[in-house]
Amino acid sequence: MSTTHRVLVPFELPDADPVPPVLVETLAATEVVLLGHYGLPEQTPPSVGRDQFEGDAAAELDEVARPFERASVPVTSRLVFGKARDKTIDRVAVEEDCDVILTPGRAEAVERVVVPLRGEANLDRILSFVGELLAGTDASVTLFHTGEESDRLPGEEILATASDRLVEAGVDPERISRQLSADADVGRSIVDLGDAFDVLVLGETEPSLRDRILGTVPAQVTADTDAPAFVVRNTEGPTS
């Protein structure tokens, strides 16, 4: 679980919201790719948009990058003009070899991290990133499983396995808690945690990004909460 992760942080230009300073600090151990997506009207070709807006957009992206640079976070910047934001995020994530995508939100502190888990799929990569995130903070982590009542025993086993792996990676057991829910509505049950967390770490359960950005459960959760959410890509298997 010593992998260094590469995090894609998308911004919608112009007038992008900055990443909260406490979140920048948690990324000190990672590599970051800042994606500035400048949305264009349907009738405007990307080449025309670039000719008109590139100077201002590049200056804004530089300003967004400055807090990361001050925190000594390795940063790569990409500026894209177009209409299909979600497809652009997918494409750049693959091109830049990013295995985590951050949906920035509001955060004044990073003290409580919640990690919903559904199964073994992508579990190693999710826990690797969680361990790296915790290494840069004093935050506690709640490993959360939700599903049908029949999932209870497998859910307990998944949470126990995940907890053991974090401990093996050097996380203090006292920083780890587990929560099991029988609510079948996965997305709703996570959102209902509300103020119980500052940061959310979600994992893709399919090898393709096509159903994610933000499709299925990660989409529902990131749309319904103001908390920052890291989505850990499942990069194994086919990509389509």
pLDDT in tens, the chain (240 residues): 445 789 999 999 999 988 889 999 888 878 999 999 999 988 889 899 899 999 999 999 999 999 999 999 999 999 999 988 888 998 999 999 999 999 888 888 899 999 988 777 788 899 999 999 998 889 999 998 876 554 556 888 889 999 999 999 999 999 999 988 766 566 566 666 656 788 989 887 554 444 443 344 455 555 556 778 898 988 765 443
**How much is the pLDDT for 228?**
87
Buried b (16+ CB within 10 A) or exposed e, 9-43: bbbebeebeebbebbbebbbebbbbbbbbbbbeee
**How much is the pLDDT for 210?**
40
**How much is the pLDDT for 195?**
61
Separation of alpha carbons 20 and 36, rounded Å:
17
Return the H-helix or E-strand segment holding 11: strand 6-13
How many C-beta atoms lie closer than 10 Å to residue 151's C-beta? 18
**How much is the pLDDT for 207?**
46
Look at residues 125, 120, 149, 139 and name the one whose alpha carbon lies nearest to residue 200.
139
Separation of alpha carbons 119 and 233, rounded Å:
15
**How much is the pLDDT for 30?**
87
